[in-house]
Chains A and B, each alone.
Chain A
């Protein structure tokens, strides 16, 4: 089981990294979303894996529980990564509507030659 989770994290990370290295905003957003999955599962896994042991206290029997702390932290992380994705989407959308292109790289020679080029890259 551990092998399965670790490899899934690895595959998601690899896919995410490949996508954030693309040149357009949309695949980068997809890549960030995939990296968020990977990171969230990774953090969750730091509490180690357990089956049939949800951290809901059982009054009637003495049972084992999975580690609740990483779960609580990942829960907020999931919601925050949604917020981050939404902001990214809006920035990408704004950049596209302003500049009519959703390429994310600024021109190679745009920086360093003139200070007034700032903010022109979309």
Chain B
């Protein structure tokens, strides 16, 4: 498998820009697992819509970047990993946190800046973290998480572990130094890390084609002799399968792999972005590429989902998200006397 072969795979079918028919589900898929993917996608959708609402009500401060439209990418990414694997992401990470098993309560509470949040109210929307679930951070500086992820993979290898590290980033990160330095280091040290690019077409407001000399971002891996492929980021199973392939290489061969998932951002860069730089037609067309609708159609066609089940899942998720807001509202802020906690770690080796 090399990048040229993968390019052909892309040409023969996977694309986020053409309306696909209803693809049949692969055989040997576990029904409950598929429904869990669907559930998680709906959870992300509703959580993000609620986050947007809470931001507008000033319950959430700072910046707030949403995974709306990217649900299949997020769920597929997490579905390809083991619970013991490590995940690093950028600042558009609420969905990744949820899929790694951080509760909606702890995630929403962090957005609210409450002490019950998954970073004890110190990080906010861009800096979710849960060591126990090996969710090693959302990072607010574009590309900053890449060297860290390579380092985590270095540590795994150093200790002789079988875990891998998966590092998500946006398309904009691929134009910066940390991307290129990290790919190079990961290759020369043979590190078990997956670099996962969510290409939603825009780095804030700059089109990928304007910002990157090569708009097919997976091709950048060629320079480092790193295996790479591009997948349809609106197809949760395609993303998951690409992750599973990559995870196998990373785990068994201790080599880095790069995946580019082509996705679409339903809204602006962040909640406050009025999104005026994108063509209206383009946005409307993009929103028809709804990964949740696509997957629902496939599940329906396979007899796994019907109107009643959809309503039941929607209702259950709604309750979960409402409960998360209640929990966040009711939780206390960190007390002022803890302002200096965690500036320095005390213990010595």
* A-B interaction: no
Give A residues with C-beta under 8 Å from B: none
Give B residues with C-beta under 8 Å from A: none
